[in-house]
Structure 1
Amino acid sequence: MELEKMIIENQIQLEDIPQIDLYMDQVIQLFENKFGSSKRNEEEKVLTKTMINNYAKGKLLFPVKNKKYSKEHLILIAMIYQLKGALSITDIKTTLSGVNERTAEENFGIDRFYQLYLDLTAQNLETFKKDLKNQTDRVKVEAEALEETESADLEKVLMVSSLAHMSNLYRKAAERLVDELAEG
């Protein structure tokens, strides 16, 4: 299985973010350029005007000035983009509310915070690659135990099921932490 080669880990790095404020269309283009290669199909949208407007209306972002998005807005949108794959919009709002408040008050180094996040994601990717290799090897052994002559599809079903289970475990752990943020 060449699953590892299919995993594309894209992040917007701090140096990818312009030092000038951007209009919505420019924000969408930046995200499309960075994350377009990781789309599952051509119809999928990375980011749309509606999404950005919903993030603003839902107060996932601090208010925009003069219809332009600052570097801080782009960092928050990048985090929202990554979080929405696992969490509900309500959970994302809860998770990022403190970061939003601190950033809006201009007494928070969101650049440093985001770089720490990027460092963690790079470490996560390396851990994931090793775990994926181990999981692939275990699934192969289990599939061979079925003694089916055509076990390739069954091996893939086992792998999908196993990865989905791991994803659910991580999502549930994240949701528990969100609940703690909401309580505290």
Structure 2
Amino acid sequence: MKTNKERLNDILDRLGTISYIKLEKIPEIDLYMDQVTSFMEEHLRKAKRNPEDKALTKTMINNYAKNNLLPPPVKKKYSKEHLILLLFIYYYKNLLSFHDIEQLFRPITEQYFNSSAEPSLSRIYEEVFSLEDQQMERLKADIQAKFQASEETFADFPVEDQEYLQLFAFISELSFDVYLKKQMVEMMIDQLREESEADTSETRKKR
């Protein structure tokens, strides 16, 4: 059985292999549905928990369009901008509801999708992920600090119990961190929704 330190090293090693898809890797030409799912499968395979899981399916893409997360394809083809939005959805979907993602995406799809407005959707994608390397280093440092703190818990318990209890403490601390950040994101989206509804109400009054 692995020690907690070995488990941590495995996690950090795997994190080092995960990266966002660079903008230049996203095809400039429009793709059919099967080509979109193949592209996602190829480039997101390292981020999957289980090798047999699908990164993206036709059903998922259709659901995103049905829930206003993704503009419809043109003549059954998806543009580079569609792929950019699908990548954002991929990162958000395990954290936020469709309702929240739709609220977050609305200004993006209304102002920048298939538009000559600046910044372009490609530029937005590039800017958002431009700090990825720094973020990964900060994440690893934070994980190591949490691990060290967990190693100091349950010091007065029998040695044979410490390993698992300290692992439990470590996982709990990571989970609480995710919980708090999820709460923050949801609060900000709720604020956006309230502001959007207030703007709509004010517009109606002026008519």
> Is TM more than 0.5 here?
yes
Question: What residue identity is the alignment partner of 2:157?
Answer: E
Structure 1: give runs of 5+ residues left out of the alignment.
none
Partner of 1:165: 176
Tell me which of the two structures has the higher relative contact order, counting C-alpha pairs closer than 8 angstroms and 6 or more residues apart. Answer: 1
Is the alpha carbon distance of 1:146 and 1:90 closer, same or farther for their aligned partners in structure 2, counting shifts above 3 Å? farther
Structure 2: give runs of 5+ residues left out of the alignment.
196-207
Q: How does 1:18-37 map to 2 (within 5 A)?
A: 18-37=27-46
Is the alpha carbon distance of 1:147 and 1:49 closer, same or farther for their aligned partners in structure 2, counting shifts above 3 Å? same
TM-score (ref. length: structure 1): 0.93
Instruction: Kindly state the Cα deviation for residue 105 of structure 1 after the two structures are TM-superposed.
Output: 5.5
- In 1, the alpha carbon distance for the partners of 2:90 and 2:145 equals 28
Q: How many matched pairs?
A: 183
1:137-180 deviations in whole A, cap 9, x for unaligned? 1111114x143212222121111111110000010000011111
Question: What residue identity is the alignment partner of 2:126?
Answer: Q
Q: How does 1:36-115 map to 2 (within 5 A)?
A: 36-104=45-113, 106=115, 107-108=117-118, 109-115=120-126
- In 1, the alpha carbon distance for the partners of 2:35 and 2:194 equals 37
Q: How does 1:125-136 map to 2 (within 5 A)?
A: 125-136=136-147
1:5 paired to 2:16: no
- In 2, the alpha carbon distance for the partners of 1:105 and 1:115 equals 17
8 Å contact kept, 2:37–2:57: yes
8 Å contact kept, 1:72–1:103: no
8 Å contact kept, 2:31–2:78: yes
- In 1, the alpha carbon distance for the partners of 2:148 and 2:129 equals 29
Partner of 2:131: 120
Is the alpha carbon distance of 1:26 and 1:170 closer, same or farther for their aligned partners in structure 2, counting shifts above 3 Å? same
Match of 1:147 among 135, 153, 157: 157
- In 1, the alpha carbon distance for the partners of 2:147 and 2:163 equals 12
- In 2, the alpha carbon distance for the partners of 1:91 and 1:64 equals 22
1:20-71 deviations in whole A, cap 9, x for unaligned? 0111111111111111122111332211000000011111012210111101
Q: Which runs of 4+ in 1 moved over 6 A?
A: none
Q: Secondary structure at the match of 2:75?
A: coil
TM-score (ref. length: structure 2): 0.83
Fraction of identical pairs, as percent: 37
Question: What residue identity is the alignment partner of 1:149?
Answer: V
Is the alpha carbon distance of 1:37 and 1:9 closer, same or farther for their aligned partners in structure 2, counting shifts above 3 Å? closer
Question: What residue identity is the alignment partner of 1:147?
Answer: F
1:96-149 deviations in whole A, cap 9, x for unaligned? 111011123502411111111111343322211110111111111114x14321
